Chain A
Amino acid sequence: MMSFFTSLVNGLSLGSIYAIIALGYTMVYGIAKMLNFAHGDFIMVGCYIIFVFSSGLGLPPVLAILLAVVLCTVLGVTTERIAYRPLRNAASPLAVLITAIGVSYFLENMALLIFGADTKSFTSVVPWSGLSLFNGELMIQGITIITIGISLLILAVLQLFVHKTKEGQAMLAVSQDRGAAMLMGIDVNKTITLTFAIGSALAAVAGALLASAYPSLTPYTGAMPGIKAFVAAVLGGIGSIPGAMIGGLVLGIIEILSRTYISSQLADAIVFGILVVVLIVRPAGILGKNIQEKV
């Protein structure tokens, strides 16, 4: 029984990281209507920045994370400006998707050139070792608690931001009808830039937590968590902020539980299988709104 709870805690930890990444995905998708395939690589960039500042230059972890957040934000906004904005009104939505893939290749190969292919070991930014419950039978690591806490905090702040501030309201308006929002005097470009800034900042935070929980770093660190988080965002209903949170947690828990109780080799197949089943039952994800096409 204890092993079940241990797995559950491990699942929550992995799921919270997926959730933070998925929040970035879902914001960008909801407002800019594009799948930012390079999002996972922003996480990797964030990890390397923290690695350089904290392990390389010896800055305190909190400062390193702040710097990573700032630099990732700059990177996100610049990428949007140079590579994505020119294609926003392209004839096919696939154009910007392919460009995002190009950006992803670019970041990975840039990291490969700068840092080399060797694995770097990441020092956890959370020094706290964690809790030991039930006479040591249930161990909860410090990073797990911090990760779950931060993801909930981010969820709350984002919800407040979107629903209570003027900029947040503008985002909602742009996500519902870009044309109408423009007519109402909303600066669409500024709103989308802001979205990318938030998404990239979240990627840096996710990077710090991901690399602290699973402390190894290569130029491809972000790719698979990025795809899984994308699946999580779709599972929860893409475009929905609470949906991304739920999707991330569900995905993390299912992944760990199926590895524990079914098969560690087929766990990925099971995770993707559940996505398929959920989407067949609820074609717009758990919390997504199924908008009926108008004739």
Chain B
Amino acid sequence: MMKNRFNISKNSAGRMTTYIIVIAAWAILEIMLHTGLMSSHMEGLLVPMTYYAIVAVGLNLCVGILGELSLGHAGFMCVGAFSGAIFSMLTVGKMPDGLRYVLALVIGVLISAIAGFLIGIPVLRLNGDYLAIVTLAFGEIIKNIINALYLGVDSKGLHLSFESLTALNLEPDGQILINGAMGVTGTPHDSNFTIAVILLLLSLVIVQNFIDSMDGRAVMSIRDNRIAAESIGIPVTKYKMLAFTISAAIAGMAGVIFSHNIATLQSTSQYFGYNVSIMILVYVVLGGIGSIRGSVIAAAILYLLPELLRGLNKYRMLIYSIVLIAVMIINWAPGAIEKRTVFFDRIRKGIKNGAA
């Protein structure tokens, strides 16, 4: 118990540091961008790097603070991406681009929050690995349903089908919004690095404030000991739902950035499958479970790593996997931690042991 309280106060003290790191990174990168110091390759990586950092922050709220393993966050990203993209496709040219993008964000976040809430009702009744597998199942269900969905709009309103494009019976003037597996094509390119960083900061503020609030402390007490929390009258289900919904909404926000950064959007495994959820989980775990700042840094570095290893061609994913295994063992194995602690202690005598 003592240890946890200590962590909370350290979190609030470290809050500003996190914001400063993000803003400083943004400033440096923006300067490099405008002075032409940055390669086009790096330039293209900035937005994806940021939206994966946002999902990682959202997932860390679920895994680190709520203490429930979710393997379905790519599904919430998918919901956000598609709802935002559809809104933009419907209204492009009908309102100023800036306003449309903000509204697309709001809609994407709201719809993925609703999805998170609805999915949370059954999911949060379960525990541990069962909860993990059900979130994985929901992620796959979302992906599969959107993949089989045809959606179009014409003067008579929205048409929806799971059969085929022709079953939509669109008027000749109709516009296809989701073309089954081919997804959405031609979403306007509205996302840029600055907007993505602002949204990252927003999600950081939301999550950090949540952690430091009464609600956040209640959630963490549930994580540490559900029965004890229940016995002092904390409404466990309500708080679990709250944290899970916020987490899903943040993933949805990242989804909107995703869909407005690239012209094609498809609900297939390489973008929204369980593999992507796992990839984001890797960011969270390597960044430190419960450490929001760690998630941001780990997402940025791990997204860049395979890209920067491009020169190694077909060996790069092999190297990535070896690095992943090695880092996990060095960081987490009790044996390795012990050796490391001894090593650090020897260097800095007198400093309290700070084993991670």
Contacts and interface: CB of A to CB of B under 8 A. Distances in A.
Interface stretch (A66-74, A93-101, A141-149, A194-202): A93-101
A238 B134 CA distance: 13
Contacts of B147: 265
Name the residue among A83, A96, A265 with the largest chain B CB count within 10 angstroms: A265
Nearest to B140: A272
A281 B318 CA distance: 42
A293 B314 CA distance: 48
A280 B125 contact: yes
Interface residues of A, number: 47
Contacts of B332: 87, 90-92, 95
Given A92-B332, A103-B325, A230-B133, A113 B285 contact: no
Interface in A248-294: 263, 265-266, 268-269, 272-273, 275-276, 279-280, 283-285, 293
Contacts of A112: 314, 317
Contacts of A98: 281-282, 285-286, 324, 328
Contacts of B227: 293, 295
Interface string B179-199: 000000000000000000000
Interface residues of B, number: 46
B322 A99 contact: no
Interface in B284-306: 285-286, 289
Given A87-B333, A94-B69, A295-B227, 20 more contacts: A91-B332, A94-B285, A95-B328, A98-B285, A98-B328, A99-B325, A101-B324, A102-B321, A103-B325, A106-B325, A112-B314, A238-B130, A265-B162, A266-B144, A266-B145, A272-B138, A275-B133, A275-B134, A279-B130, A280-B126
21 contacts: A29-B129, A90-B334, A94-B285, A98-B282, A98-B285, A102-B322, A102-B328, A105-B317, A105-B320, A106-B322, A109-B321, A113-B315, A234-B129, A263-B148, A268-B140, A269-B144, A269-B145, A272-B140, A273-B137, A276-B138, A285-B130
